Amino acid sequence: MMMIDSHAHLDSARYDEDREALLERAFAAGVRAILSIGIGDGPDTMHQALDISREYTGRPDLPKIWASAGVHPHEARLADEAAYAKLDHLLQQPEVLACGEIGLDYFYDNSPRDIQKTAFTRQMEVAAAHKKPIIIHCRPSNNSTDAWDDTLAMLRSEWSRTGLGGILHCFTGELHHATEAIDLGFLISFAGNITFPKAQPIRDAAAALPLDRILIETDAPFLAPIPNRGKRNEPAWVKEVAAKIAEVRNISPEEVATRTTRNFSAFFGTEIPASTHLPPR
């Protein structure tokens, strides 16, 4: 089974002791590529994902690592001109496939909402200038769809005209939020929380969406899927996400793995690593 983990924080300090062993375990589990999210602990460290991509480049025994760069909505209050200049530089690097994760988080409100919106807009402008897609983080406040409503409105008014699309990562919204994003050129990525008992709405969305618009991710080190819930997550466990989507769609995990790998490669125009043999369309 060959898979791509479309969202992992490989630069997390929680991997400093065993990062290479973790990548070996991922490869052994079938993971052939990982998109390492470059938000660091804030703008000052958003280059770390690119550093990791370069550190492990040319290793046929490990997954291919690509990077992103961006300012997470939690740290939007730290997004100054230096941060946007840094993002501008990072998005020019060929290993950096996307800008993100960016967006709105009204659950924690770690940055004021107007400042989150300003940082989101500014980063969409930088991404558009370099023709890079965006990876969206969106989390509403309790029992609300406020952040989804605002995010989709901003994507409609400020992003859809670029035609660049992006990824809604760790999807937790309602089905219509996903279909609206798909209409704007987005892929929908599912994470380990799809395995949690209370996540029936997420499973319903994963069952209903077109198979050619979905991705799988871990969001490691966060959100470890059952049976490892509560532990430090790692890319090898993306197979649990594939298995759950397969279960709710009544198809094989291999088909989920193959299709999501193909979706990622087609969207980013990346070469599928040579060791990944996909059946013909």
Interface residues with Zn ion (CB under 5 A)?
101, 137, 219
**Smaller CB separation from Zn ion, 132 or 137:** 137
Minimum CB separation from Zn ion for residue 76, in Å?
Answer: 13
Eight-state DSSP code of residue 170: S
Minimum CB separation from Zn ion for residue 5, in Å?
Answer: 11
The CA distance from 189 to 167, in Å, is: 7
Which stretches of 168-252 are DSSP H helices?
Answer: 175-183, 200-208, 238-249
**Smaller CB separation from Zn ion, 154 or 272:** 154
Residue type, 182: I
Tokens read off for 255:
């088909």
Minimum CB separation from Zn ion for residue 8, in Å?
Answer: 8
Provide DSSP, 101-152: EEEEETTT--S-HHHHHHHHHHHHHHHHHTT--EEEEEEPPTT--HHHHHHH
**Smaller CB separation from Zn ion, 66 or 272:** 66
Q: Shortest Cβ contact with Zn ion: which residue? A: 137
Minimum CB separation from Zn ion for residue 219, in Å?
Answer: 5
Minimum CB separation from Zn ion for residue 170, in Å?
Answer: 5
**Smaller CB separation from Zn ion, 9 or 244:** 9
Tokens read off for 113:
């909402």
Residue identified by tokens 């840094």 is 86
**Smaller CB separation from Zn ion, 11 or 219:** 219
**Smaller CB separation from Zn ion, 38 or 253:** 38
Minimum CB separation from Zn ion for residue 9, in Å?
Answer: 6
The CA distance from 16 to 232, in Å, is: 13
Do residues 79 and 126 touch, judged by C-beta distance below 8 A? no
